[in-house]
Amino acid sequence: MTDSKKENKILLAHGGGGRLTSHLIEKTILPAFSNDTLDKLTDAASLDLTSASVCMTTDSYVVKPLFFNGGDIGKLAVCGTVNDLAVAGATPVALSLSLIIEEGFDIDTLEKILASAGATAKQAGIDIVTGDTKVVEKGAADGLFINTAGLGTRHENADIDFDRVTKTDKIIINGTLGDHGMTIISQREGIKFDSPLQSDCAVLSGLIADVLNSGANVKFMRDPTRGGVAAVLNEIAAASGFTIELDEPSLPIDETVRAAADMLGFDLLDIANEGKVVFVVDEKDAGKVVDICKNHELGKKAAIIGEVLDKEESPVVELKTKIGGRRIVQMPYGRDLPRIC
Amino acid sequence: MTDSKKENKILLAHGGGGRLTSHLIEKTILPAFSNDTLDKLTDAASLDLTSASVCMTTDSYVVKPLFFNGGDIGKLAVCGTVNDLAVAGATPVALSLSLIIEEGFDIDTLEKILASAGATAKQAGIDIVTGDTKVVEKGAADGLFINTAGLGTRHENADIDFDRVTKTDKIIINGTLGDHGMTIISQREGIKFDSPLQSDCAVLSGLIADVLNSGANVKFMRDPTRGGVAAVLNEIAAASGFTIELDEPSLPIDETVRAAADMLGFDLLDIANEGKVVFVVDEKDAGKVVDICKNHELGKKAAIIGEVLDKEESPVVELKTKIGGRRIVQMPYGRDLPRIC
């Protein structure tokens, strides 16, 4: 029994580039992702794209805990990078996936995470085409970190640029705020609610393709992950020079998430989402974009949540509150929420 | 003084996606890599390639120590991924670079590492076009891990495939074996030699382009990193079905590296290189490839080190020793050498 138990843990040699690395790749990694390109195990994946106009992005994932309600680090590592391609106006084509594993990590757990990443990639219609595995000694990493990089081709209707944002544009989000972040935080704090929180972790490329294919005049998109909607809107305000007004009563918020945020003292505008996209849309197309979102399973609670006001020397994000007051929505400082993704 | 010292360390908030993340990106990361694509700070870099036939690769770097004679983790993270593109027959075009940083990491040290990565990328003629920064709490990582992913366009002369390997092909390497691995190991063990060991960490895309541009019939290439030349040749033998014979007296080996390996009980065939490429070349072009290598600063000690023998049911890698004996060169197990790259 001892031997078989030992064999089910990651050893340093699994990262050494020798026989055990080959074994791990063949028995644990390839089965999760198998496709013609990856299976060749060349030093670099060879791809024939439909266009030479491409987008490239990367993210490392260090989320804690590795499994959370609504997802896990594997699903997140695919969703996050696919979404970064999609909001840049690209059709996702291929992903790389690289593992940094702590010695002693459970191989069954690794298999579950990789299966989840593979299933998410399949659902998104994207292949994981190349990868890498490193193992560090016990104590030199916290379980498992995953990096993914993504490659996509530019969507012909996409013209996504801060410079296109202008007065009267509408701000749209495809659903409720803060679900991912509050799920992670509550789970870490060990707080339970009557109706359980669930991360919104999801692949947005389908919904975004629907919007772009409609020909709607989308000026800018970004997924409000770390730093939340507050960070995204502050980035748009700073880069475009326009003040943005948010309408508090219009913000879609799940009641349990709101209760959790109130209890723990968080502003949901600052909290990470993993299945949300903020659109800046020409006002004449705003209704259409909301309708398209509502017709997609990931956009049922889509809403116009604000609009672009005047150009200013010091543009800000303002929240028009329920009781008619106004407050500035700051760029979050970032301290409170490590390892949310 | 306390405040300014504190400010020179990475805080968790540097990875939070808020103001401190923006500050780190603007003050520390962009200066090292600045280029038109990266400076836009979009969710994904937008690139217009010269071809839609591309290669993509990734590696995570966990080398310990972070600085070693001949390089550092930043230089290594660029060289390693550029080299993976080059040996796949691609002209490197763009890199992503993603950081996982331990809370408390020294920002001046980070700047040195990023400057080194930036200088190496510049020298290789490749832009770092997108990136990511995560911070994990003290103890959850060992200082700094870097992931790079690479994108390249396929070289028109490249036809690199295990299937093209055949009897009488020659095995060529562009220089001495094991310099990188023995440098890292000796430094970790605190062993000093009269003439210091130095990693061969280098960008190989220029040398490989010279070889491909010559029209030489290169059947296969791979960089012998983790697992060394032994792993690469075993992979070629297994995938092609041909036994490979290595000629021990022909192996280029630095005398100090040999002494270090003898002292520490390592076989240099198993040891990682970071500036070497193993070519499998049609015998009629072998002399030409060696000459091209010798005309490049990274190939002065290039040599034909072996040849492809018969196709066999259980193909092996055989070493013809100095004294005329023969031994099987096994696929290394991998246990002894964690965090070599």
pLDDT tens digit string along B226-270? Answer: 999 999 999 999 999 999 999 999 999 999 999 999 999 999 999
Residues B119 and B193 in one domain: no
The amino acid occupying position A302 is: A
Query: What CA dihedral angle connects B31, B32, B33 and B34, to 10 degrees?
Result: 20
Say if B205 is an interface residue toward chain A (CB within 8 Å).
no
Confidence grade of residue B6 (pLDDT, cut at 50, 70, 90)? low
Residues B310 and B218 in one domain: yes
Q: Please give the residue that has the higher pLDDT: either A191 or B171.
A: B171
Residues A199 and A292 in one domain: yes
pLDDT at res. B1: 40
Q: Which domain holds residue A222?
A: 162-328
- Entry pTM: 0.95
CB A191 within 8 A of CB A245: no
Say if B255 is an interface residue toward chain A (CB within 8 Å).
no
Q: How far apart are CA B134 and CA B15, in angstroms?
A: 5
Residues A217 and A138 in one domain: no
Specify burial of residue A229 (Cβ count, 10 A radius: 0-12, 13-18, 19+).
buried
Inter-chain contact A58–B131, Cβ cutoff 8 Å? yes
Q: What is the mean pLDDT of chain B?
A: 94
- Three-class secondary structure of residue A339 per DSSP: coil
Chain A positions touching B223 (Cβ under 8 A) are 43
CB A154 within 8 A of CB A310: no
Helix (H) or strand (E) holding A235: helix A228-240
Confidence grade of residue B7 (pLDDT, cut at 50, 70, 90)? low
Residue B334 falls inside a structural domain = no
pLDDT at res. A19: 86
The pair of structure tokens assigned to B152 is 């390249």
Residue A223 falls inside a structural domain = yes
Specify burial of residue B104 (Cβ count, 10 A radius: 0-12, 13-18, 19+).
middle
Q: How far apart are CA B77 and CA B71, in angstroms?
A: 10
Residue B340 falls inside a structural domain = no
Residues B168 and B316 in one domain: yes
pLDDT at res. B335: 59
Q: A154, A186, A215: which is the final residue of a domain?
A: A154
Q: What percentage of chain B reaches a pLDDT higher than 70?
A: 97
Q: How far apart are CA A129 and CA B276, in angstroms?
A: 24
pLDDT at res. A30: 95
Domain count along chain A: 2
Q: Per-residue pLDDT for B2 more than 50?
A: no
State the best of A14, A21, A46, A163 to mutate against chain B, taking most chain B CBs within 10 Å. A46
Q: A92, A125, A154: which is the final residue of a domain?
A: A154
Say if B55 is an interface residue toward chain A (CB within 8 Å).
yes
Q: How far apart are CA A147 and CA A59, in angstroms?
A: 6
Beta bridge partners of B45: A56
pLDDT tens digit string along B63-107? Answer: 999 999 999 999 999 999 999 999 999 999 999 999 999 999 999
pLDDT at res. A2: 44
Residues A241 and A257 in one domain: yes
Residues A28 and A148 in one domain: yes
CA atoms within 13 A on the CB side of A290: 17
Q: How far apart are CA A78 and CA A96, in angstroms?
A: 9
Q: Where are the beta strands (DSSP E) in B122-212?
A: 127-136, 144-154, 170-173
Specify burial of residue A267 (Cβ count, 10 A radius: 0-12, 13-18, 19+).
middle
Residue ranges of A 139-158 with Cβ closer than 8 A to chain B:
139-142, 145, 147, 149-152, 154
Nearest CA in chain B to A13: B335
CB A276 within 8 A of CB A227: no
Task: Tell me the CATH number at A137.
Answer: 3.30.1330.10
Neighbours of B281 (CB within 10 A): 23
Distances (CA, A) of B336 to A217, A336, B270, B277, B332: 58, 40, 10, 23, 9
What's the average pLDDT block by block, 10 residues per block, for chain A (341 residues)?
64 88 93 93 93 97 97 98 97 98 98 98 95 96 98 95 97 98 93 90 98 98 95 96 98 97 94 97 98 98 98 96 95 80 93
Q: B154, B184, B214: which is the final residue of a domain?
A: B154
Q: How far apart are CA A303 and CA A176, in angstroms?
A: 9
pLDDT tens digit string along B270-317? Answer: 999 999 999 999 999 999 999 999 999 999 999 999 999 999 999 999
